[in-house]
């Protein structure tokens, strides 16, 4: 009887061992994100961790490839949109790629749709989809490599400063006359990162818009990088103003000071005062007056954004362009010695496409962008120029 009981126990042990391992854990498996399978391990028979430690620290990934970037696991899942041009086509707009990705950190997982250069926040980090290799659209997109950038929110730096404005006085004196002295200026300030500028300032991307207070003071936090501060008031005539564009370099945990100077127009005709060198904006019918160059005037006669044109028999959109009239009275300026001859007068109309430069009277004028601006409830196109000697 004891012998039969002993044999029965042996059979039971054999059956049980076929369903469990020697430590008593079941042989279930769990599939990991990279395709590997892990089982349960003693003493608590919990699933072994997925082998994330084998995933490389990279900034680029192909579809369904999991990478580690700045402590965040990123897996590109699906191309939602690819509006870029094929290699053999010329397009006015570069297009963009929209990508669905999975973000993971420790036990938190989230699927999001990323637009190029439009960051999202995830677990204390800013994740940006910054580019695609190759630059043109191809089919099928099996060889695409997607580039990402991860920045910790704790790595931000501070930019602070003051905006001042002074009237456009024809003669600068030291100390300045009371009406010409700089005064605090409350105005919107657009912050643009140079890392997101496409085709040399033609399509600059605004990171954020802040405002200086009634004392002209402003302060904001930004991620490390190089930025441009554009104080571009949205007021209408006759009080137009132009402000210096200031470049700042932001470093993690540090404060960068940046002061912005503006000139306000006082002419009854509403012309915008500028100085060489500077950058300024005009809308159709407006005139810029160059104070330190023989009172040269630049009038924007026509502005066309992406006009239709015929390219080799195909109707397509052409680059934006403007027509401007440049005039200068010549001579040596008002109140000059009559014996001074000075340069001759000048007046001519120029047609300039975005990105092009024209030269006249020892001055270069570049059209580097066309964009929409607002004044109250009214939206209008403005052309952005850069003038220098």
The label of the residue with tokens 């210096």 reads 244
Task: Quote the pLDDT of residue 216.
Answer: 92
Please report the pLDDT score of residue 134 as a whole number.
87
Beta carbons of 257 and 217 less than 8 angstroms apart: no
Q: Do 167 and 263 form a contact (C-beta atoms < 8 A)?
A: yes
- Rounded Cα distance between 161 and 219, Å, is 7
- Which domains, ranges and CATH numbers included, belong to the chain? 52-153 (2.60.98), 156-268 (2.60.40.10), 271-389 (2.60.98)
> Which candidate, 244, 20, 205, places its Cα nearest to that of 115?
205
Structure tokens at 302: 């026509």
H or E segment and range at residue 11: helix 2-17
pLDDT at 63: 92
What dihedral do alpha carbons 67, 70, 71, 76 form, nearest 10°?
Answer: -30
What pLDDT is stored for residue 125 in this prediction? 86
pLDDT in the model for residue 377: 54
pLDDT tens for the chain, 389 residues long, are 556 665 566 665 555 544 444 456 777 777 665 556 777 877 778 877 666 555 667 789 999 999 998 889 999 999 998 888 887 776 656 678 899 999 999 889 999 999 886 788 898 888 889 889 888 888 777 789 999 988 887 778 899 999 988 776 655 566 666 667 788 988 888 888 765 443 333 345 677 888 899 999 999 988 888 888 988 655 443 334 577 778 899 988 899 999 998 876 555 566 777 888 888 888 888 888 887 887 789 999 988 876 666 656 665 667 788 999 998 876 665 555 666 666 667 889 999 998 899 998 889 999 988 877 655 555 667 888 889 98
Gap between the Cα atoms of 105 and 102, Å rounded: 10
**Which residues, 6+ apart, have CB-to-CB distance to 249 below 8 Å?**
225, 226, 227, 256
Read out DSSP for 123-172? TTEEEEEEEEESSS--SSGGG-EEEEEEEEGGG-EEEEEEEEEEE--SS-
CA-wise closest residue to 185 among 243, 144, 141, 118 = 243
Task: Give first-to-last CA distance, the chain, whole Å.
Answer: 113
pLDDT at 208: 81
**Residues near 111 by Cβ (< 8 Å), separated by ≥ 6?**
77, 100, 101, 102, 103
Query: Encoding tokens for residue 102?
Result: 């999975």
Tokens of 25: 């854990």
């Amino acid at each position: 009887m004891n012998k039969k009981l002993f044999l029965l126990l042996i059979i039971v042990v054999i059956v049980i061992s076929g369903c469990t391992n020697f430590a008593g854990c079941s042989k279930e498996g769990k599939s990991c994100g990279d395709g590997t399978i892990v089982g349960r391990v003693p003493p608590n028979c919990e699933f072994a961790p997925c082998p994330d430690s084998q995933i490389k620290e990279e900034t680029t990934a192909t579809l369904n490839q999991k990478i580690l970037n700045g402590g965040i696991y990123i897996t590109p899942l699906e191309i939602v949109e690819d509006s870029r041009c094929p290699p053999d086509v010329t397009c006015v707009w570069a297009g963009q790629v929209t990508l669905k990705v999975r973000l993971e950190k420790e036990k938190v997982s989230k699927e999001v749709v990323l637009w190029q250069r439009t960051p999202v926040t995830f677990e204390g980090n800013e994740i940006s989809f910054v580019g695609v290799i190759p630059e043109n659209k191809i089919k099928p997109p099996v060889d695409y490599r997607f580039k990402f950038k991860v920045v910790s929110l704790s790595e931000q730096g501070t930019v602070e400063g003051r905006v001042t404005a002074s009237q456009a006085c024809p003669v600068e004196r030291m100390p300045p006359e009371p009406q010409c002295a700089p005064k605090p200026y409350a105005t919107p300030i657009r912050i643009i990162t140079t890392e997101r500028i496409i085709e040399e300032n033609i399509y600059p991307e605004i990171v954020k818009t802040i405002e200086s207070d009634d004392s002209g003071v402003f302060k904001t936090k930004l991620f490390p990088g190089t930025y441009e501060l554009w104080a571009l008031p949205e007021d209408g005539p006759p009080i137009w103003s132009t402000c210096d564009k200031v470049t700042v370099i932001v470093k993690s945990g540090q404060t960068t000071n940046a002061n912005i100077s503006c000139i306000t127009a006082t002419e009854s005709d509403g012309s915008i005062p500028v100085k060489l060198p500077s950058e300024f904006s005009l809308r159709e019918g407006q005139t810029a007056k160059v104070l330190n160059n023989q009172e040269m005037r630049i009038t924007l006669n026509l502005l066309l954004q992406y006009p239709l044109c015929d390219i080799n028999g195909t109707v397509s959109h052409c680059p934006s362009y403007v027509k401007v009239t440049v005039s200068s009275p010549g001579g040596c300026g008002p109140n000059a010695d009559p014996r001074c001859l000075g340069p001759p007068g000048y007046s001519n109309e120029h047609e300039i496409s975005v990105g092009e430069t024209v030269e006249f009277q020892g001055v270069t004028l570049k059209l580097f962008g066309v964009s929409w601006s607002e004044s109250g409830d009214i939206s209008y196109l403005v052309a952005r120029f850069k003038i220098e000697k």
